[in-house]
């Protein structure tokens, strides 16, 4: 046997062993009595730290409810172990097996579907905009030309809506750093998710009194829960998809929006109607035409 052939066989065995290890992620979760769920800690109110340092928020509530639903399905207690991820490492954590499920403000894009398994139905939706001081001179996308704009590492829209509009992007590892830079005047505006901006403006109007969403909201994109690519047709994917459908039908997400000071969004209300009407967009079978 040649060295090259031995290497190929060895790599094939490693890949096969890796696939086998994740062959039934749901059963592994049941055996351990624990599901590891990736969540954000820098995207209030979906994921943030409270005064005691605990990670709380809308997606953490969903993570705990997912564990409850898995417990009912398994007939034994399954606890949720939340693992803090960032925009730049969340898919990597999933691929590496450090988490079983991803619930971390991840917009569903074709590029991301090539890396991880993004589930249908989506559970939330948001678009892209710029938050800026009212006197910043930013009053639309073309007005970003030549201005320093804060962004987050790993965000796909830094290029498509920042650089392509002539902005000088200043990127940070997380939201806390980008927010601090904006408030300190290091950036004329912050290019990010409009849902995050709405939450800030509504929850702390005094702090953000001088700021506004200064561009039209574009690229509205649903948020998807994620599993490993090889789990997309596995029982864990079906279980998470079923949970999301039930969250819509029961009004759970509407209730959590109210709990976390967001108010009911049109998209969530429309998804509730669609899921109650058994619209195909609410089933677990992905159809990109839906």
Count of the separate structural domains present in the chain: 2
Residue 175 vs residue 289, higher pLDDT: 175
In 3D, which of 176, 184, 127, 183 has the Cα closest to residue 152? 176
Q: Is residue 290 part of a domain?
A: no
Domain that holds residue 27: 3-123+224-282
136 and 255 housed in the same domain: no
- Residues contacting 27, CB < 8 A, separation 6+: 235
159 and 190 housed in the same domain: yes
Q: What is the pLDDT of residue 166?
A: 98
**CATH at 76:** 3.40.190.10
Which of the listed residues 202, 220, 238 is the one where a domain comes to its end? 220
Mean pLDDT across the chain, nearest whole number? 90
14 and 96 housed in the same domain: yes
Q: What is the pLDDT of residue 196?
A: 86
8 and 112 housed in the same domain: yes
Residue 157 has pLDDT above 80, yes or no: yes
Residue 9 has pLDDT above 50, yes or no: no
Which of the listed residues 179, 199, 220 is the one where a domain comes to its end? 220
89 and 231 housed in the same domain: yes
The answer to whether 281 and 241 are in contact (CB under 8 A) is no
Tell me the pLDDT band of 22, cut-offs 50, 70 and 90.
very low
176 and 228 housed in the same domain: no
The answer to whether 144 and 189 are in contact (CB under 8 A) is yes
238 and 110 housed in the same domain: yes
Structure pTM? 0.75
Q: Is residue 50 part of a domain?
A: yes
Query: For helices 252-259 and 266-276, what crossing angle results, to 10°?
Result: 160
**Residue burial 92-110, b: 16+ Cβ < 10 Å; e: rest:** ebbeeeebbbbbbbbbbbe
103 and 173 housed in the same domain: no
Q: Is residue 106 part of a domain?
A: yes
Tell me the pLDDT band of 216, cut-offs 50, 70 and 90.
very high
Reported as type and span, the H/E element at residue 176 is helix 175-183
In 3D, which of 23, 60, 25 has the Cα closest to residue 40? 60
Residue 154 has pLDDT above 90, yes or no: no
50 and 154 housed in the same domain: no
DSSP string, 65-111: HHHHHHHHHHTS--EEEEEE--TTTHHHHHHTTS-SEE-S--B--HH
Q: pLDDT of 243-259, one tens digit each?
A: 999 999 999 999 999 99
Q: pLDDT of 47-105, one tens digit each?
A: 999 999 999 999 999 999 999 999 999 999 999 999 999 988 999 999 999 999 999 99
Q: Is residue 287 part of a domain?
A: no
8 and 116 housed in the same domain: yes
239 and 158 housed in the same domain: no
């Amino acid at each position: 046997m040649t060295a090259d052939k031995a290497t190929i066989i060895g790599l094939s065995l490693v890949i096969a062993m890796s696939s086998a290890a994740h062959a039934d992620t749901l059963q592994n979760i049941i055996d351990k009595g624990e599901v590891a769920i990736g969540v954000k800690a820098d995207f209030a109110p979906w994921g943030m730290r409270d005064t005691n340092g605990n990670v709380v928020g809308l997606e953490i509530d969903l993570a705990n409810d997912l564990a409850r639903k898995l417990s009912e399905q398994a007939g034994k207690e399954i606890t949720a172990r939340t693992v803090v991820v960032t925009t730049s490492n969340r898919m990597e954590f999933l691929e590496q097996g450090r988490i079983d499920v991803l619930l971390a403000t991840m917009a569903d894009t074709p590029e991301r579907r090539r890396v991880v398994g993004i589930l249908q139905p989506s559970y939330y939706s948001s678009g892209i905009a710029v938050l800026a001081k009212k006197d910043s001179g930013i009053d639309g996308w073309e007005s970003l030309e030549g201005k320093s704009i804060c962004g987050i590492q790993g965000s796909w829209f830094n290029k498509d809506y920042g650089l392509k509009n002539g902005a000088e992007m200043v990127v940070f590892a997380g939201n806390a750093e980008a927010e601090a830079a904006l408030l300190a005047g290091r950036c004329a505006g912050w290019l990010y998710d409009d849902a995050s901006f709405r939450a800030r403006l509504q929850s702390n109007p005094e702090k953000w009194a001088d700021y506004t969403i200064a561009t039209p909201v574009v690229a509205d994109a649903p948020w998807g829960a994620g599993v490993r690519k090889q789990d997309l047709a596995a029982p864990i994917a079906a279980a998470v998809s079923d949970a999301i459908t039930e969250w819509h039908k029961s009004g759970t997400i509407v209730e959590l929006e109210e709990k976390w000071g967001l108010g009911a969004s049109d998209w969530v209300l429309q998804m509730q109607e669609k899921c109650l009407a058994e619209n195909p967009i609410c089933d677990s079978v992905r159809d990109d035409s839906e």
